[in-house]
A and B are shown apart, each in its own frame.
Chain A
C-alpha cells in the first residue's frame, strides 16, 4: 500500500505523530559549557540517560532505553575503532553524527515497515582548545543541529527553544552552570507537563508567562519531581588528568554543587 508516493508521505506523517507522542513524558536533557568544560544534566528514574562515549565525547538521550542503548553501542564501536585505527583526535562528534548515527536514524525513520528509533540524542564534545566546544542534537528523524555553547532535548521544538533561551550566554563556574542547567531542565519539564494537561486545547504552552520561570518556582518544581527520581549530572572536564575527560558527578559532588534550595530535598 505504500508504493504510492502520497501514501508513503502519509505513513511518514503518521509516524511523526506517533513519535511525538512518545516523548511527551520524557525527561529533558541539558548540556552547557562552563569555565573548564561541559556540564550535562537530566533527572532520571532508574536507567541512566547520560553516558561517556569517548575521551572527549558525552551522550545524553531521551526516549526508549533499548533504542538508546543500541545507538550508544553503535557510537561506542565507531569511536573506539576509529580512535584505535587512526587517533583519538580523529574521533569527533561531528563525524560520529554526520557519517555515523544520523543516517542510521533517518533510515530507520523512513523505512515505514520497520520500527523507528524512539530516541533524541545529544552529543557534547570538549574541543582540544578551550572555547572550542561542540554540541550536536539529533532528532528522531535523523535531522541534526550543531551549536557551540549549549544544547537541549525536550518533547517539542518550542519547549527546546524556551529552555535554550533561559540558559546564560557566557561561561560560568561549575556551580553556577549546574544551577542554570537545573533551572532549564525544570522549565522544560514543567512546560511538557502543562502541554500534557492542556492538550484539551489550551494551545501552545511553551510560551509560558515569564513570571513563572523565576528560580524559586522552578526549584519548587524540581523538589516535587526529585522525590521519586534522581538528578543525574556529568561533566567533561578539561582539568581532569589523563585522556578521558568524562566524569559522572557523585551524590556527594552534587550535594556541594546544587543550589541550596534543592540540597535539602535530595539529601
Chain B
C-alpha cells in the first residue's frame, strides 16, 4: 500500500524507463528550448514563454508551446531538451490525475512540487550526459496557502521558490536584470500590476530576450506568432488569445506603434 496513488511507480512496475543516460560526449546537436519567465502580478501568477526550438544554430521549430498546463491549476514552463521536458509533463499530468482519481482528493501543491523534483532527480544521468537537461519553472495555485506560487529548478532537481519572479533558458540572463530593475524602480512593482499591465511586461521581456539571444523567438508579426502567455488564479488557468496579444503588442511594445 505504501505509495498508493503513485502513477510513476506504477509505470516503473510495468517496465517503463525514464532518464536513462545516453552518451552525449560527441556533442550531438540536441534540440533545446529557450526563454521562459514567470512573475506574480496582482491577481496571481503570469507564466510566459517564446516559441522557438533550436538545435545548435539551426531553428528547428517556431511554434513550440513551452508553457504547458498540467492540471486545472498548475503549469510547467520548460527550458532545455524538449523531448525530456514533454515526457516529464506527460508523466506529471497523468500522475496528478491518477492521484486525484484514486485517492479522491487533489494532490497538495507541495506534493506536486515533490513530483517535479523527483522526476528531475531520476533524470540526472541524462542531464549530465547532455542529452536530457531540463530546467523548468513550475507555477500553480496553492489552495492551502491561498496564493499562486512560482518555483524553479536546476537540471539536477534542486527546487527554489521564486518569491517575485523566476526565469530560465538561454535568454534568461537578459531579462533577469530587467525584471529586477522594473520590480525595484519601475512605476509599479510587478505584484501591483493588472492583468493587462503584466501582459505588456511579458511581451516586452520576451522581445528583449530575443534581441540578445538568437535561440529565443520573440514576436514574429508577419507569421502572426506570439509568445504563449498564461495566467493562473484561484479560478484556474487563462491563456491569452493571440488577438489580444497582437493588440497589446501593437499598442505597447512595438516602437512603430
- Bound-complex Cα distance A73 to B94 (A): 15
29 A-B contacts, Cβ less than 8 Å apart? A51-B101, A51-B104, A52-B100, A52-B101, A53-B101, A54-B101, A55-B97, A76-B101, A76-B102, A77-B10, A80-B7, A80-B10, A80-B94, A80-B97, A80-B98, A80-B101, A81-B14, A83-B94, A84-B7, A84-B11, A84-B90, A84-B91, A84-B94, A241-B236, A242-B69, A242-B71, A242-B72, A244-B72, A244-B97
- Bound-complex Cα distance A59 to B100 (A): 15
Secondary structure class of chain A's binding surface, majority of residues? mixed
Shortest Cβ gap from A153 to chain B (Å): 21
A76-B102, A80-B10 known; 6 new pairs, CB 8 Å cut-off, are A73-B102, A76-B101, A80-B94, A80-B97, A242-B71, A244-B97
Shortest Cβ gap from A56 to chain B (Å): 12
Interface centre among B90, B91, B102 (most CB of A within 10 A): B102
User: Across the interface, which residues of A come within 8 angstroms of B7, CB to CB?
Assistant: 80, 84
Which residues of A6-65 are within 8 A (CB) of B?
48, 51-55
Chain B interface size band reads: 10 to 19
User: Across the interface, which residues of B come within 8 angstroms of A55, CB to CB?
Assistant: 97
Interface centre among A73, A76, A241 (most CB of B within 10 A): A76
User: Across the interface, which residues of A come within 8 angstroms of B102, CB to CB?
Assistant: 73, 76
Which residues of A63-89 are within 8 A (CB) of B?
73, 76-77, 80-81, 83-84
Interface centre among A48, A84, A242 (most CB of B within 10 A): A84
Give the residue name and chain of the B residue nearest to A53 (CB). Answer: B101
Shortest Cβ gap from A208 to chain B (Å): 36
Interface residues of A (CB under 8 A from B): 48, 51-55, 73, 76-77, 80-81, 83-84, 241-242, 244
Contact with A along B85-116 (1 / 0, CB 8 A): 00000110010011011101000000000000
User: Across the interface, which residues of B come within 8 angstroms of A242, CB to CB?
Assistant: 69, 71-72
Shortest Cβ gap from A47 to chain B (Å): 11
User: Across the interface, which residues of A come within 8 angstroms of B98, CB to CB?
Assistant: 76, 80
User: Across the interface, which residues of A come within 8 angstroms of B101, CB to CB?
Assistant: 51-54, 76, 80
B10 touches A81 (CB 8 A): yes
User: Across the interface, which residues of B come within 8 angstroms of A84, CB to CB?
Assistant: 7, 11, 90-91, 94
User: Across the interface, which residues of A come within 8 angstroms of B97, CB to CB?
Assistant: 55, 80, 244
- Bound-complex Cα distance A81 to B15 (A): 12
User: Across the interface, which residues of B come within 8 angstroms of A76, CB to CB?
Assistant: 98, 101-102
Shortest Cβ gap from B97 to chain A (Å): 7
Give the residue name and chain of the A residue nearest to B72 (CB). Answer: A242
Which residues of B1-29 are within 8 A (CB) of A?
7, 10-11, 14
- Bound-complex Cα distance A76 to B19 (A): 25
- Bound-complex Cα distance A241 to B104 (A): 20
Give the residue name and chain of the B residue nearest to A246 (CB). Answer: B101
B72 touches A81 (CB 8 A): no
State the 9 A-B residue pairs at the shortest beta-carbon distance, nearest first: A84-B94, A80-B98, A52-B101, A76-B102, A80-B94, A76-B101, A242-B72, A80-B7, A77-B10
User: Across the interface, which residues of A come within 8 angstroms of B10, CB to CB?
Assistant: 77, 80-81
A81 touches B11 (CB 8 A): yes
Contact with A along B212-227 (1 / 0, CB 8 A): 0000000000000000
- Bound-complex Cα distance A4 to B176 (A): 80
- Bound-complex Cα distance A57 to B183 (A): 46
Shortest Cβ gap from A76 to chain B (Å): 5
Give the residue name and chain of the B residue nearest to A83 (CB). Answer: B94
- Bound-complex Cα distance A51 to B91 (A): 22
Give the residue name and chain of the B residue nearest to A80 (CB). Answer: B98
Give the residue name and chain of the A residue nearest to B101 (CB). Answer: A52
Shortest Cβ gap from A245 to chain B (Å): 12
- Bound-complex Cα distance A53 to B98 (A): 9
- Bound-complex Cα distance A242 to B72 (A): 7
User: Across the interface, which residues of B come within 8 angstroms of A53, CB to CB?
Assistant: 101
- Bound-complex Cα distance A244 to B14 (A): 25
User: Across the interface, which residues of B come within 8 angstroms of A244, CB to CB?
Assistant: 72, 97
- Bound-complex Cα distance A76 to B4 (A): 12
User: Across the interface, which residues of B come within 8 angstroms of A81, CB to CB?
Assistant: 10-11, 14
Give the residue name and chain of the A residue nearest to B98 (CB). Answer: A80
- Bound-complex Cα distance A83 to B11 (A): 12
Shortest Cβ gap from A225 to chain B (Å): 24
User: Across the interface, which residues of A come within 8 angstroms of B71, CB to CB?
Assistant: 242
Give the residue name and chain of the A residue nearest to B69 (CB). Answer: A242
Shortest Cβ gap from B194 to chain A (Å): 23
User: Across the interface, which residues of B come within 8 angstroms of A52, CB to CB?
Assistant: 100-101
